[in-house]
Chain A
Amino acid sequence: AQKVTQAQTEISVVEKEDVTLDCVYETRDTTYYLFWYKQPPSGELVFLIRRNSFDEQNEISGRYSWNFQKSTSSFNFTITASQVVDSAVYFCALSAGQSYDKVIFGPGTSLSVIP
């Protein structure tokens, strides 16, 4: 069975602090895809990144970076120098094996950036 755990329900940081959102996944499949999505207070869901299981390189996009570690089944997301506009709920998701067309979402982490 596939599962995504986001143990941090809510995080609050002061603007300009760095923050890491944790994502731990479970799957027995060797081929899988991991995703992060952002849901700001306005409610829309926005795609941030997709990573496949064969590419463990970390990725950086501006203030955002992702650390994929197969050894710990984790795909963590770090925001550097957080801004108020980063306040949102962030979802990690998994698509794996023969159930690849059924994406499993984690429960989400609500991030509040305080000015």
Chain B
Amino acid sequence: DAGITQSPRHKVTETGTPVTLRCHQTENHRYMYWYRQDPGHGLRLIHYSYGVKDTDKGEVSDGYSVSRSKTEDFLLTLESATSSQTSVYFCAISEWAVSEQYFGPGTRLTVT
């Protein structure tokens, strides 16, 4: 199994508070991704990174920011959480852009 961990695995937070989710990999893969999974929508890309300090937006990036200061870590920040951001968040990694992706275990975030 690819070495990908996500922390925290579960979080409950209040509307308006900042939240940071962490993805850590031990595979030294270049690409890292953040997705959210909601019923009926499958997986939707939030942001991705193609190298240290190189990031780009996905289809649902509003309200989210990311940072990648090291190859192994990719952080997703919700600056001011809203109830619409209640979701399961998955991190994924891939060696190249068109390679298969390997996913972390997911983080269940509830915004009350």
Contacts and interface: CB of A to CB of B under 8 A. Distances in A.
- Asked whether A and B interact, the reply is yes
Interface of A: 6, 33, 35, 43-47, 50, 52, 91, 93, 95, 100-108
A93 B83 CA distance: 28
B31 interface: yes
A44 B103 contact: yes
A91 B42 contact: yes
A101 B55 CA distance: 11
A105 B44 contact: yes
A9 B99 CA distance: 27
Contacts, number: 53
A100 B97 contact: yes
B100 A105 contact: no
B40 A107 contact: yes
Interface string B39-53: 011111100101000
B62 interface: no
Contact of B102 (A47, A95, A100, A107): A47
Contacts of A35: 100-101
A47 B105 contact: no
Contacts of A43: 88, 105-106
Contacts of B41: 107
Contacts of A91: 42-43
